Amino acid sequence: MRINFGISWDYQTHYNSVHIYFPLTTPTIVAHPYNYLLFKALGRIIMSDSEARTAREEWGSRFGFLMAMLGAMVGAGNIWRMPFTTGENGGGAFLVAYILLLYLIAVPGLMAETMIGRYTNNGVIGAFKQVLGSKRAQGLGLVVLIVNVALMSYYAPIIGWALYYAGHSVLMTFTQPGFQPQAFWDGFINNPALVVGMHTVTMAGLAGVLVFGIRRGIERVVKWMIPLLVVALVAVSIRGITLPGGMEGVAFVFTPDWGYLTRGSTWVAALSQALFSTGLGWGIALTYGSYLSRYDDVPLGGGLFTAIGNTSIGLLAVFATFPVVFAFGLEPSAGSNLLFISMAQVFPELPGGSLWAIVFFVSFFFATFTSGLGITEVAVTTVSEETRLSRTGAVLASCGAIWLFGLPSAYSSAFLGRMDFMFGSFGLPLATLSIIALVAWKFGPERARVLDLNRNAGIYVGPWWNPVVKYVIPVVMVFILGYGVYSSIGTSNQRLMLLGVAFMAALVVVSTVVMSVVGDEPPSGSAAVPGGDD
């Protein structure tokens, strides 16, 4: 087989990135700037033994990776959940608990997840396969994959809602005379064709980005969406704070009520927010980390920046929403309704309301869409690695499956709520436990730390990291799972809780059985494969 290739120098970034084109092969290999050393050995890469080998794609720039991580972790929850959770749990006192847990648990956890992705250079099933070495154990990777697909199946309709509102903000619907926010929302959510249509457009949009791959797809989009999201939130914050009565919202959120620090519910709320809003254990950090080059840092960007940056955007959302909520006397605990009904009624009354509506709803759409990219990429990467499908085929298969499974959630908000309860309360802790257990209990934290985490790292991670990853995070996850069960007993959610627990137990069993039948045999028999990217 003969392959023609050409080389071009890309000055889009300030680095001399090398694009290597293989016109006769499907994938275009795009090398990271760090990999120009690899490029020196191009001849060996291109044609050895008459066979073309394609290098795994890598992030084009550090900024692109950081924005992708941030975009994936910043979602709807940061904008409609964090402000109210903060205000409801003692304001500044909650923030103390939250920041403490964020640095103690979320940052080390994200370091572990990103590291195992970078080390194995694989998606979720491949990472489990490489580290655990047995076909059966790959079932845990399948669990993470299924939880992600399930989660995305009900998150995609929410992105569709955000897209609908962003579109109407551009059409200036919210500032039209006689606009009724409740009627507008009811008209939308009770129109199955419209909601399913937006769900379809969302999945088509995600597929349209993902099909271009990591660098030309995800990175190209997040590099401008996330900075614009931050600028938009800062702008809305300034507008909100300067409204008459806006500072009352700031006082509600930030005035500490230290008594809350003695309440267990405050710490549980802080734990949940610190773990789930940072996206720890969803497989996203593992997947995005698998596209890092050997020269890339993990702990500073994948751990510290992702967790702190994500929460910073949550804090910006506090400034963007609560001053407006208090200035207009809205109900601060309205959750998703706060955005789609309460906030929509504010804009007609604001000077320049049309513009502020565009800024607010388009930035909310960016937050949800970039999360959708991250969650869906977990499936795309895994499908493309574990099947014979090309990247395009994997994108179509993953997005098609998510679209199909998402139809009930798009059709019925009640179904969406039940899915959120089941997978948010039990599926995500299970996925997080699986990934953390992979690093902490199989790979081993000390081995992970000395071998890979501190390699090319921007900060040195000391031995304190080991017990946090090995004991603290798993105990916390088990506690959250147990607390979810305990707090549902005797409530209207009890039946759903039992269903959720049974479903997750069945998921582990079935996934294990399925992978022991269809999984790939590890190359060296039952022994774990050391792997690494050298």
Which residues are near another protein by CB under 8 A?
15-16, 33-34, 36-37, 40, 61-63, 66, 91-92, 95, 99, 245, 247-248, 250-251, 254-256, 294-297, 300-301, 304-305, 308-309, 311-312, 315-316, 446-447, 449-451, 454-458, 460, 527-528, 530-532, 534
Question: Crossing angle for the helix pair 181-189 and 138-170, nearest 10 degrees?
Answer: 130
For the beta sheet containing 6-10, the strands, ordered from the edge strand earlier in sequence to the opposite edge, are 6-10, 17-21, 29-31
DSSP 347: G
Where do we find the tokens 């199989």? Answer: 442
Q: How far is the CB of 422 from another protein (least distance, A)?
A: 31
DSSP 472: I
Maximum distance among all Cα pairs of the chain, rounded to whole angstroms: 73
DSSP 51: B
Q: How far apart are CA 287 and CA 9, in angstroms?
A: 27
Q: Show the DSSP H helices in 16-91 as ranges.
A: 36-40, 42-46, 62-73, 76-80, 82-88
Q: How far is the CB of 462 from another protein (least distance, A)?
A: 8
Closer CB to another protein, residue 62 or residue 199?
62
Closer CB to another protein, residue 176 or residue 526?
526
Q: How far is the CB of 19 from another protein (least distance, A)?
A: 17
Name the burial class of residue 397, with classes exposed (0-12), middle (13-18) and buried (19+) by CB atoms within 10 angstroms of its CB: middle
Closer CB to another protein, residue 451 or residue 496?
451
Strand partners for 31: 18
Where do we find the tokens 């049309």? Answer: 354
Q: CA Rg, the chain, in Å?
A: 23
Q: How far is the CB of 449 from another protein (least distance, A)?
A: 7
DSSP 8: E
Phi and psi, residue 135, nearest 5°: -65, -40
Closer CB to another protein, residue 281 or residue 301?
301
The helix/strand/coil state of 534 is coil
Q: How far is the CB of 470 from another protein (least distance, A)?
A: 16
Question: Crossing angle for the helix pair 391-411 and 413-422, nearest 10 degrees?
Answer: 120
Closer CB to another protein, residue 413 or residue 456?
456
Q: How far is the CB of 313 from another protein (least distance, A)?
A: 9
DSSP 9: E
Instruction: Report the candidate in 295, 25, 347, 38 with the shortest Cα–Cα distance to residue 170.
Output: 347
Q: How far is the CB of 170 from another protein (least distance, A)?
A: 28
Closer CB to another protein, residue 208 or residue 463?
463
Closer CB to another protein, residue 257 or residue 420?
257
Q: How far apart are CA 297 and CA 277, in angstroms?
A: 23
Closer CB to another protein, residue 198 or residue 250?
250
Q: Which two tokens stand for residue 240?
A: 């909100």
Q: How far apart are CA 345 and CA 323, in angstroms?
A: 15
Pairing of strands 6-10, 17-21: antiparallel
Closer CB to another protein, residue 11 or residue 460?
460
Closer CB to another protein, residue 176 or residue 524?
524
How far separated are the first and last CA of the chain, in Å rounded? 27
Q: How far is the CB of 247 from another protein (least distance, A)?
A: 5
Q: How far is the CB of 227 from another protein (least distance, A)?
A: 11
Q: How far is the CB of 463 from another protein (least distance, A)?
A: 8
Q: How far is the CB of 426 from another protein (least distance, A)?
A: 29
Closer CB to another protein, residue 155 or residue 443?
443
What amino acid occupies position 147? V
